[in-house]
Structure 1
Amino acid sequence: MSDFMSTAHLARNTVMRPVWKLIGGAPTMTMREMAEQLGVEIEVVDRFWTSCGFPKADPDTYMFTEQDAQAIKEWNQEVGEGALARNTVTSLLRAQSYMADRLVLWQLEAIVADFQERMQLDDTSARLVVLDEIDQYIELLQSQLGYAWRRQMAYLLLNTNREVEMRDAKAAVSDSYPLDRCMGFVDMVAYTRRSSTMSGAALADLVQSFEMACRDVITTRGGRVVKTLGDAVLFVADDLLVAADIVCAMVDFLNSRPEILPVRASLVHGRVVSRSGDIFGPPVNLASRLVDIAPRGQILMDATSAKQLRELDREGLFTVKQAETADLQGLGEVEAWQLTRGKTDGASKPLIRRTILEILPTAAKE
């Protein structure tokens, strides 16, 4: 018990320096005092705080700084001025906080794992070292986040502009599912059974290796990762040929990696709606059901998407052939088609259409 208490005391003393650096110093206000200073109801401050994903705070506990007050003031002004609807401003706050929560967890765990490996430390010792040294990395992590956000937003704006330019009149009035997307799932086979027999470290390494490999293939070949689900990844692309290239490359690459479980995949083209960074619609459900019935190492498509791919593929880069008709839950009987590569030289040549690097020089000249 004494060893535990000394470790806990050491951790608490160690962590206060970076914590105060991050939140703008030692807390000087309660929630009630901050509300009075800002001239707002305490419910406004509470709404902001809980929208950030934090537990409800005692209104009379000293836990806020001037930095918190400034953030709440800016948020409340945005709501009051009406440039965006209140629900939209709050939604953006939730989105930023949700992504920040995932990001800082990813960053911290990556540094802990690094210290464990390089210094040959146990988990507790590695975390104590991180707590002691994390303030050395704060500025770098913040600046890299700002850079990544600016570049990602620029890339998304250019892609959105291109999509709008290419829409026809019929698509413009189809608001229920306005986005034309090609989406695919890649799923590790027998993940549940195998994961139950693995150590925590081995399972974490498996999931990380799978996710990083998928992200690398998807992004370098012109797609975007929508979400990861531990043993599965959902991606989208704007072009069916590009999407087919991505999913074939992923299955080939992942099945060549002995440290990753065998995979299977699906690919569907259709119209979806996007909310909160995710996509929804019948094609997403169809892709999810198809990957569930795909045999190990195979890629399944629905008949409509397979026909569209065959019509677009004038160079014979891909082959589609009828696989089976399956009764899928909630969808009824669906005719599945198997996708494979056609010409072998296509595997090493990404089929990215227009990238941001091609668009920017033209925009600069204009």
Structure 2
Amino acid sequence: MRRPEQVDQTTPASARDAVRELEKRLLGADRTMKRREVAAAAGVSILSARKIWRALGFPNLGDEEVFFTEVDQGALELMLGMVRAGTLTEETAISLTRSIGQMTDRMVVWQVEALVEDMVQNQKMSDPEARRNLVGLLPELITPIEELLVYSWRRQLNAAVHRLALRAETGLAASEEGRDGSEDDVSLPLARAVGFADLVSYTSLSRRMNERTLAQLVQRFESKCAEIISVGGGRLVKTIGDEVLFVAETPQAGAQIALAMSREFAADELLPNTRVSLVWGRILSRLGDIYGPTVNLAARLTALAEPGTVLIDEQTASTLVGDDRFVLHPQETTAVRGFGDINPVILAPGAGTGLVLD
């Protein structure tokens, strides 16, 4: 997040007025307050205020820098007000704020690059020219994108509420093997199907491609993965270059997604094959990511899978036995680092059409 004086120094003189007008619209007011002034006006200590600002991704500021607006004061009062009221602990308030700061930062970078790419590709602008012209285009996009953001957040929260109420019964016994006690006492509370998919030979491909072609390949891979996961009712956890991590509520749903990925990428002439893995087990969900041995095993199985195949473990396979939509091909026992000997199983499509993409 740039300070206003940095923008002035790096922006051509002809565009400074447009940048200032855009800033006023985005921030909702002029910058008139220093950090101690806004903290005092909000009735909080500078220490508490800095915790919120750092969670949002604000830069380090000196006492004399005029950086804040009255809108910033209202945001500070809003978040810390919930702490004062006892609705949230300070730690939880900071965690929620960090989730917003990190996700919106990534979202804005993604959106800016998508718009620049569009101008370069379809309007034949140079990259610097496209970035300059974007300042003039953004005022038309702010309101619709903002409304879409709120709409999407509400839909995603509603979906999360439904997931909270859903207990994946199918395959639950398999995830509880070797554990005594009730489901409520388990240290990893969520039973989920965890899947990985990665592009084969990505490293060698990336060395032979220019930046734009490589970016298009990665975007196509991520977009197709996101579509398949969405259609299958799963959730895309994260993408890491040539790799995608996803979860599903049941082993059957996860298996359908994994098979669809393998099928779709094998048929795509512009993308290499994928290796896909799936493991049903328990996980811990924190900070938008997932953790636990189930995730680690899924990652290990991806490395073992042959191109164009889906590899699962024996326990996951046991939850799919008797379902004619899936064919299971047991493989030789294999030593897996951190897990000892496991019995991998190749998952193949059986009866039915599998996931149908529009």
Q: Same fold (TM over 0.5)?
A: yes
Cα deviation, 1:183-223, whole Å, max 9, x if unaligned, reads 11011011112112211111111111000000101111211
The residue number in structure 2 matching 1:347 is 354
Report the alpha carbon displacement of residue 38 of structure 1 after superposing the two structures with TM: 2.4
The residue number in structure 1 matching 2:297 is 286
Q: Distance in 2 between matches of 1:196 and 1:105?
A: 25
Structure 2 residue 85 is matched with structure 1 residue 87: no
- The aligned amino acid for 1:267 is L
The normalised TM-score by structure 1 is 0.88
Any stretches of 5+ residues in structure 2 without a counterpart?
Answer: 1-8, 174-179
Evaluate the alpha carbon distance shift between residue 326 and residue 172 of structure 1 in structure 2; reply closer, same or farther with a 3 A threshold: closer
Structure 2 residue 211 is matched with structure 1 residue 200: yes
Evaluate the alpha carbon distance shift between residue 82 and residue 6 of structure 1 in structure 2; reply closer, same or farther with a 3 A threshold: closer
Residue number among 171, 191, 195 corresponding to 1:180 in the alignment: 191
Structure 2 residue 270 is matched with structure 1 residue 262: no
Q: Is the CA contact (8 Å cut-off) linking 2:256 and 2:355 kept in structure 1?
A: no
Greater shift in the superposed pair: 157-166 or 263-272: 157-166
Structure 2 residue 257 is matched with structure 1 residue 250: no
The alignment's C-alpha RMSD in Å is: 2.1
The percentage of counterpart residues that share the same residue type is: 36
The residue number in structure 2 matching 1:41 is 45
Q: Is the CA contact (8 Å cut-off) linking 1:182 and 1:239 kept in structure 2?
A: yes
Report the alpha carbon displacement of residue 107 of structure 1 after superposing the two structures with TM: 1.2
- Deviating runs (4+, > 4 A) in structure 1? 164-171
Aligned length: 342
- Give secondary structure in 1 for the equivalent of 2:354: helix
- Give secondary structure in 2 for the equivalent of 1:228: strand
Q: Distance in 2 between matches of 1:190 and 1:165?
A: 38
Report the alpha carbon displacement of residue 11 of structure 1 after superposing the two structures with TM: 4.5
Structure 2 residue 24 is matched with structure 1 residue 16: no
Q: Distance in 2 between matches of 1:181 and 1:87?
A: 27
Structure 2 residue 343 is matched with structure 1 residue 335: yes
The normalised TM-score by structure 2 is 0.90
Q: Distance in 2 between matches of 1:306 and 1:347?
A: 17
The residue number in structure 2 matching 1:322 is 330
Cα deviation, 1:232-277, whole Å, max 9, x if unaligned, reads 1111111111211111011100121121121110011001111111
Greater shift in the superposed pair: 9-18 or 55-64: 9-18
The residue number in structure 2 matching 1:119 is 123
Evaluate the alpha carbon distance shift between residue 114 and residue 171 of structure 1 in structure 2; reply closer, same or farther with a 3 A threshold: farther
Q: Distance in 2 between matches of 1:92 and 1:145?
A: 17
Report the alpha carbon displacement of residue 164 of structure 1 after superposing the two structures with TM: 8.5
Structure 2 residue 284 is matched with structure 1 residue 276: no
Structure 2 residue 77 is matched with structure 1 residue 73: yes
Any stretches of 5+ residues in structure 1 without a counterpart?
Answer: 351-366
Q: Distance in 2 between matches of 1:206 and 1:265?
A: 18
Q: Is the CA contact (8 Å cut-off) linking 1:38 and 1:73 kept in structure 2?
A: yes
- The aligned amino acid for 2:347 is L
Greater shift in the superposed pair: 277-286 or 172-181: 172-181
Structure 2 residue 113 is matched with structure 1 residue 102: no
- The aligned amino acid for 2:26 is L
Q: Is the CA contact (8 Å cut-off) linking 1:187 and 1:291 kept in structure 2?
A: yes
- Give secondary structure in 1 for the equivalent of 2:233: coil
Q: Distance in 1 between matches of 2:330 and 2:168?
A: 34
- Give secondary structure in 2 for the equivalent of 1:180: strand
Q: Distance in 1 between matches of 2:252 and 2:356?
A: 12
Q: Distance in 1 between matches of 2:182 and 2:218?
A: 38
Q: Is the CA contact (8 Å cut-off) linking 2:257 and 2:355 kept in structure 1?
A: no
Q: Is the CA contact (8 Å cut-off) linking 1:32 and 1:60 kept in structure 2?
A: no
Mapping for residues 122-201 of structure 1, pairs under 5 Å: 122-163=126-167, 171-201=182-212
Evaluate the alpha carbon distance shift between residue 287 and residue 121 of structure 1 in structure 2; reply closer, same or farther with a 3 A threshold: same
Mapping for residues 286-305 of structure 1, pairs under 5 Å: 286-305=297-316
- Give secondary structure in 2 for the equivalent of 1:241: helix
Q: Distance in 2 between matches of 1:177 and 1:249?
A: 28
